[in-house]
Structure 1
Amino acid sequence: MSIKRSLLGVPLRLSTLALMLFLVLGAQSFAANPDVSDSEEAISAGKSVFNANCKTCHKLDQKYTGPALRGVTDRRSIEWAKSFIKNSAALIASGDAQANALYSEYNNLAMPQHEFLSDTELDNLLSYIEYGDKEAAVAEGAGDGEVAQAAGGSGVPSEYLTIILAVLVVVLLLILIVLGLIISVLTKYLNNQKLEEDDSEFINQKFDVKKVLRSDAFVVIVTALVIALVAKTAIDGLYTIGVQQGYQPKQPIAFSHQLHAGQYEIECQYCHTGVEIGKSANIPSANICMNCHQHIQNVGGKEGISTEIQKIYDAVDNNQPIEWVRIHNLPDLAYFNHSQHVAVGGIECQTCHGPIEEMEVVYQHSSLTMGWCIDCHRQTDIKAAGNEYYDKLVQLHSDSKNALKVKDIGGLECAKCHY
């Protein structure tokens, strides 16, 4: 005799349910981002892109200046993520609801454009964001926060103080509510007892606002809140001393890097002649401008020359330098050499200065804090191939299985920058 059993009649054990849940979630996780590579090569390349362009404002698994990034391809489409990374301002201007929501959530703080990143670099970046080591990301974030605090970085301390103040205010309100309830219960209880006239009058006295405002407890609470707010404001100010990220002064001549470096593709080294041979990149003189502009006639202004170009002619005719406003400033106690980074290290201008070829008016793209520099030295690989400058160093580190980084050749020594 055969017995047919319904599936509903089979008892489900807790272990069976757990296994089924694990398989379902695992399958969803495996198929979540089939277009994002989880190869070690892609993740490593993406980490370099992240550290060079994103780490100043973002962390993988926690909010910072910007949102936590891990899981972005689950929350958004890959094409949307790439568009936002390349030019968030254009996406916001198009009316995209998700982009505008992010823009509003982070106090209308626009993310710099990264149109110089190729599709391959963006794919690698998304690979690192999704599959980068979570424990390492958290550990590095904590370490960078400590360095940033020591170097004058901002963000985390301010957030912590805001949270602490909010918690204190909530606790204070809860205490007041509980005290009010206790007083109400005690008043009802005592009124049911046989009390003398003076005691009854004291218990049933009306609330006096003036007495409360003059009471020692109220004065202490208000004083504590004021001190806390003043301290928070002072600490926020201290953490931002010397940090000029986003600084964009008006220049004496409306020079467009977008036109010269972007549209006409003039190399940075043509105008900033000292970048490969000296400590300073130097500001170009009017004579360098005239190398081109003596052959260019723009319609409008005096004798067919535009008003802005006429200022260059005036500077040359009067033998007076153009008083450009310096944008990128480092403290006197910090030493930085452009030739060491550009000529020897092979660092692109955009690594520190951002998408300079897209800027109509130049602004300071990176924070340039000590923590920002140290993080770069920790993560940047030495470009030793075909560079005789590093031959002996490569020999000394030949036994190492890891790529040679700046930190391995003294990039974290205090005297390198603070001589």
Structure 2
Amino acid sequence: MISWRKHYKRGLIAIGLLLSTSASIYAQGDAKNGEKLFKANCTACHALDKQLVGPALGGIVDLIKKEQNLDTDWLHKWIKDNKALRASGDKYANEIFEKFNKTEMTAFPNLTDQEIDDILAYTSNPPAPEPAAEATGAGAADTNSVAALEAAKMQSMNSKIILLSLLAIGGLLIWLLLKLKQLVKLQQTDELTGLNATRAVSFGDLYRKYDYIGKGILVLLGIFAAYGLWNWLMWIGVYKGYKPEQPIYFSHKIHAGENKIDCQLCHSSAKYGKVSEIPSMNVCMNCHRTISEYNGKYMEPGKDKAFYDGEIQKIYAATGWDPSSQKYTGKTQPVEWTRIHNMPDFVYFNHAQHVVAGEQAILNSYNQKNPNAKIDVVCKACHGQVDTMNVVQMANDFTMGWCIECHRTTEVDMNNGYNKEYFKNLHDKLKKQYGSGAKITVDAIGGLECGKCHY
């Protein structure tokens, strides 16, 4: 009996020590701060609930304790400098390195021990999402749905009001015509009746009698027809507002607006080349290799999380990416994007010339002309407020006249390094021609020469 009590007490002491140890591990870190640190440093390669580039980290403290009998000190060493840990001959560190295709994890020597404890606390006991934030997101979605419904009702009501108004106006006109006809009949006398009998009653007789009026009308109709044809010809190829449906839905508002992704991260050749190319799917995979679902707060009316998640799966199908094994299968599906902006073959336009050499001049000119809609990125001067567009559309006419107007009103920064060197011998000539304090616009340095755009 004494022996049994002795072992019983020892068991309670052991359980107490184990519980206190576990509690102390989690108590050391602040899970809320750990969540911020995890999102800032770890989400590129890790998630809590699934494998990405690296293993799932949910419950990692208990896992390595159970499977490898390792404590948080080992995790500290691994996070701060896993390369040094592997070089020391640590068996488990090298096993992980081999298991994940010898992908070397980024070292984080800048993280303090307390910050690492915060991250580990988050992986062990992630805080529940704040109800207020969820309610806000749901409320926003509900508000959008209600607003869309109210707008549809209002539009339907307006259409009915307009239709009823037109019917009322039509009825009033018919009533007036009937009344006028009655008045004419009342005022007709025998003398007027006899006079009316002698008047021309056929269209041919009427035309011969007033042929000069008919010829004048025909001339006017010919002029209007010629103008209409000329106007139609002038607008061939002008597609302002054009926004085709794409094979994979891509919201610039989410990427460039909500997430503040720079235009040139995807359209990198706009700065250094003639054409701003459509990014390859590999560019998308730089981020979406680890972002397999949409968790943003913004929802476009009529869209939901399932819709956005489905579009991400289309990216995986196009690139042949298997998210479960985190490997490319080699089975790709080319994406047939519909091009929106496309200059004619006889027009030369160099993106780099505008984005680099003309950047500040274009920004200054645009913001002076549009003080209530200033822009911070030179791309918006031509392509509009892309960061507010769910579906990108052609924001301007892109006609020859539109370009010439810009060249005539955009002042050249003659003091920047490029212009100062390139137009070194032109400065004196421009000062003599336009005056020392004159505003030098792009047309003054050859911006209206035919050969600059049509070669």
Structure with bigger gyration radius: 2
| TM norm structure 2 | 0.44
| TM norm structure 1 | 0.47
